[in-house]
Amino acid sequence: MQSQAVLPRNAYYLARFEAEKERFLEEWKTLLRIPSISNNPVYDVDCRRCADWLKTHLEQMGLMAEVVPTVGKPVVFAERAGDPGLPVLLYYGHYDVQPAEPLEEWLSPPFEPTLRDERVYARGALDNKGQTAFFLKAVETVIKAGALGCRLKVVLEGEEESGSAGLAACLVERAWKERLKSDVLLVCDSEGHTIEIPGVTMGLRGIIHLALTLKGPAFDLHSGIHGGAAPNPALGMARLLATLHDADGSIAVKGFCDSLTRPSDEIKRLLMAAPFDEECYIRDFGVSPAGGERRYPVQERLAFRPTIEINGIHSGYDGPGHKTIIPSSARAKITSRIAVGQDPQRSLQSIIDHLRANVPAGLTLEISDEDGSHGALAVDPASPFVKRAARVLQSIYGRDPLYLWCGASIPVVVSLIQAASAEPLLVGFGLPRDRMHGPNESFSMTQFRNGFLFSCLLLEELSKPSA
């Protein structure tokens, strides 16, 4: 048997994974059993429990850890000393998850993690408990191997899925900036390209959101007696939302796209190097890529173009048969992804102004839960950390990673980069079929293993004096 020092590092960590994977799985499942849904106060106690569990776990791994109260959900912060001559790595993750609705579509309960065909099904299996779990297990393994030389900081927040208010409030504090100061911020909260082809994420879109209520009659009215007199909020909401886009999918909100910048030719080349497989998309998601601004290629639409999406619309009757009413109100939830160049506050304001200017006659619009604090992120392809991550990925997959632009948002990452004065490094192992945010979210043992190997090897890479 080869000794640890002689065994190639990939093979060594692969062997460690194989030896430990049952325990890794059990710990990951323990984390998944906690319904740490952040957008609903009902689950506050579970969020707190999740933070406490992580603190204890990080301490058992050999880090100094604490649960720090914030104006929102607590933040878990942990660190481990390292060689001052080496880069400081800050890992960011989140322990909160999306709501699990629609519950009836889950094949196994969302908070009873279930292994089927070497794949763990649970809310958060991927986002972000799966990717955080492989990183923590990598840290533990590299420490045990005596190979962790660089200083490590870990910040795990509990509100990524609902606006990151707690952590964001910390990030403006000088003490927090000092505490988080680091050279590179590693975030594993995005997707790779395929199971065979890794990816480094080079950009994220920003996000703004708002909720609408369109009020009409004081109560539901008889649609025969009142039809032709009373304005209908369900119809009015449809008409109002329909004004947001032109017929070709372009956003019709005045001023919204004003400061949007087009990607450079070099970036476009990298973007288009990751092909978009339409047939595969249709097979995986049951729908053709017919959404968005159709005059742009789909890769550009997903990365460098903004969107205004309706996440929910609800009004009136939805039971069996029909009910002849003019509903008294209609509700809608909107999130908009903004691209590089757009200012979140100004973009939000332009949507609000547009909506207010287009309220159908007789109805009253109320806007709530509006937030425009999270801009887009652009990673520099020339960053040395990106290059080192690419080398590590090459050694695991046997091929260079693709550079990916993710249409999603990790709201707090832009602020975190500024607060920590760090260079961003975004490497994710999720895949479309994992159904992040949807029912039956899952993450395979293979993806977990790849993420684990990447984390181990990156930690070693950053621990080399020459690096």
In 3D, which of 122, 96, 119, 127 has the Cα closest to residue 29? 122
Window 405 to 434, contacts with a second copy (CB under 8 A)? 406-409, 432
Q: Give burial (CB, 10 Å; 0-12/13-18/19+) of 216.
A: buried
- Pick from 153, 155, 154, 165: which is nearest to 73 by CA? 165
Which listed range, 93-101, 263-271, 413-421, 459-467, lies at the site for a second copy (CB under 8 A)? 93-101
| Options 183, 191, 460, 461; binder of a second copy; rule CB under 8 A | 191
**Stated length of the chain:** 467
Name the segment binding a second copy (CB under 8 A); options: 111-119, 130-138, 206-214, 391-399: 206-214
Query: Is residue 166 within 8 Å of 72, Cβ to Cβ?
Result: yes
| Residue pair 365/351 in contact by the 8 Å Cβ criterion | no
Among 115, 238, 270, 467, binds a second copy (CB under 8 A): 238
In the window 287-346, what residues touch a second copy (CB under 8 A)? 287-294, 298, 301-302, 305, 307, 309-328, 330-333, 335, 337
Tell me phi and psi for residue 341, to 5 degrees: 105, -30
From candidates 71, 103, 225, 357, binder to a second copy by CB under 8 A: 225
Q: Does residue 356 belong to the site contacting a second copy (CB under 8 A)?
A: no
Indicate which single residue of 137, 151, 205, 388 sits in contact with a second copy (rule: CB under 8 A): 205
C-alpha distances out from residue 404 to 105, 141, 189, 190, 193, Å: 30, 29, 13, 10, 8
281 is a contact residue toward a second copy (CB under 8 A) = yes
**Would you count residue 109 as binding a second copy (CB under 8 A)?**
no
If one asks whether residue 104 binds a second copy (CB under 8 A), the answer comes out as: no
Crossing angle of helices 44-61 and 9-32, in 10° steps, is 150
Q: Report the site for a second copy in 149-188 (rule: CB under 8 A).
A: 161-163
Rounded to a whole number of angstroms, the minimum distance from the CB of residue 407 to a second copy is 5
What is the rounded distance in angstroms from the CA atom of residue 123 to the CA atom of residue 34? 10
Stretch 244-273 residues interacting with a second copy (CB under 8 A): 244-245
Q: Name the segment binding a second copy (CB under 8 A); options: 1-9, 50-58, 230-238, 393-401.
A: 230-238
From candidates 221, 414, 419, 427, binder to a second copy by CB under 8 A:
221
Q: Which is nearer to a second copy, 26 or 369 (CB)?
A: 369
Nearer to a second copy, 61 or 338 (CB): 338
Output the smallest distance, CB 50 to a second copy, in A.
17
Q: Are 12 and 459 contacting, i.e. CB atoms less than 8 angstroms apart? A: no
* Site membership for a second copy, residue 275 (CB under 8 A): no
Which position among 84, 85, 146, 228 is part of the footprint of a second copy (CB under 8 A)? Answer: 228
CB-based burial label for 1 (10 Å; 0-12, 13-18, 19+): exposed
Residues 22 to 61 in contact with a second copy, rule: CB under 8 A: 38-41
User: Per-residue DSSP letters for 325-356?
Assistant: EE-SEEEEEEEEEE-TT--HHHHHHHHHHHHH
Q: Which is nearer to a second copy, 58 or 431 (CB)?
A: 431
Question: What is the CA 56 to chain-centroid distance, rounded?
Answer: 25
Closest CA to 91 of 29, 19, 163, 142: 142
Task: Please report whether residue 436 would count as binding a second copy according to CB under 8 A.
Answer: yes
* Binding range to a second copy, per CB under 8 A, among 15-23, 83-91, 129-137, 241-249: 241-249
Give the nearer residue to a second copy in terms of CB position, either 15 or 230: 230
Under rule CB under 8 A, residue 285 binds a second copy: yes
Site size with a second copy, rule: CB under 8 A: 103
Closest distance to a second copy from the beta carbon of 122 (Å): 16
Cβ neighbors of 327 (< 8 A, separation 6 or more) are 216, 220, 232, 233, 234, 315, 316, 317
To which H or E segment does residue 169 belong? helix 165-171
| Minimal distance, residue 216 CB to a second copy, in Å | 5
What residues numbered 361-390 form the site for a second copy, per CB under 8 A?
Answer: 361-363, 369
Decide: is 277 part of the binding site for a second copy (CB under 8 A): no
74 versus 82: smaller Cβ distance to a second copy: 74
The secondary element (H helix, E strand) that includes residue 268 is helix 265-273
Which amino acid makes up residue 258? D
Q: How far apart are CA 424 and CA 97, in angstroms?
A: 23
- Crossing angle for the helix pair 445-462 and 9-32, nearest 10 degrees? 120
Sign of CA dihedral 121, 127, 131, 132: negative
Among positions 105, 173, 258, 400, the unique one binding a second copy when judged by CB under 8 A: 105
User: Which sign does the torsion angle of CA 430, 435, 437, 439 carry?
Assistant: negative
| By the rule CB under 8 A, 207 interacts with a second copy | yes
Closest CB to a second copy among residues 87, 411: 411
Residue number with CB closer to a second copy (16 or 337): 337
Q: Which is nearer to a second copy, 174 or 322 (CB)?
A: 322
Which pair of tokens denotes residue 446? 């293979």
